[in-house]
A and B are shown apart, each in its own frame.
Chain A
Amino acid sequence: GEDVEQSLFLSVREGDSSVINCTYTDSSSTYLYWYKQEPGAGLQLLTYIFSNMDMKQDQRLTVLLNKKDKHLSLRIADTQTGDSAIYFCAENSGGYNKLIFGAGTRLAVHP
């Protein structure tokens, strides 16, 4: 079945780049997503990438997609304390376009 995996924790120093990695299993996924959840808040769509793209850049965010290895990454440049949150990788999967999520990576930014 469909599966999305990501590491659970990442700690970075303020001002450094953060890279959050994700692997997925459904090669037929047409879109892959990164969501952000701050403490006590709802899910916020950060960015998404269409499966025929290799890279997407949006200000401090860079998404890289390696479709052959089914690997997705999110790079946050110049990480700030406000970037501290849980980041979820997700793929849309199946005939009904179910959204399948990873377990989430908790990003901690320290001075």
Chain B
Amino acid sequence: DVKVTQSSRYLVKRTGEKVFLECVQDMDHENMFWYRQDPGLGLRLIYFSYDVKMKEKGDIPEGYSVSREKKERFSLILESASTNQTSMYLCASSLSNWQYDFGPGTRLTVT
């Protein structure tokens, strides 16, 4: 019953490295989202995509970019990782306007 998968559960990277976080959904969903979760701040939307090659900035896009070359895959890219990007990253997808499926999350540590 695999729905939304993320490439890694835990990731440790060094400052300045380029980091790719991958998200894949197998439900043919149009919309995909990237959030970061920090204690006391909840989940904040980084970027989302409503179709292949289409992307929109969320509330905190600075320092991030995204790629959606295929419908099932939505990648989050940290061009030059910094320590303030240490966080839990959650991917979600949705077909309708009410049902969202979340991945298990990737805990990224930047040292």
Contact = CB atoms under 8 A, between A and B. Distances in A.
Contacts, number: 50
Given A43-B90, A88-B43, A103-B40, A98 B58 contact: yes
Contacts of A45: 100
A88 B90 CA distance: 14
B102 A42 contact: yes
Which interface class (under 10, 10 to 19, 20 to 34, 35 or more) fits A? Answer: 20 to 34
Interface string A96-109: 11111111100000
B89 interface: no
Interface stretch (B65-73, B79-87, B91-99): B91-99
A70 B48 CA distance: 25
Q: Which of B58, B59, B92 has the most CB of A within 10 A?
A: B59
A8 interface: yes
| 5 residue pairs, one from A and one from B, having the closest CB atoms | A103-B42, A101-B43, A97-B97, A101-B42, A31-B98
Interface of B: 31, 33, 35, 40-45, 48, 50, 56, 58-59, 90, 92, 94, 97-98, 100, 102-105
12 contacts: A8-B40, A31-B98, A42-B90, A42-B104, A48-B98, A92-B97, A98-B33, A99-B33, A101-B44, A102-B42, A103-B41, A103-B42
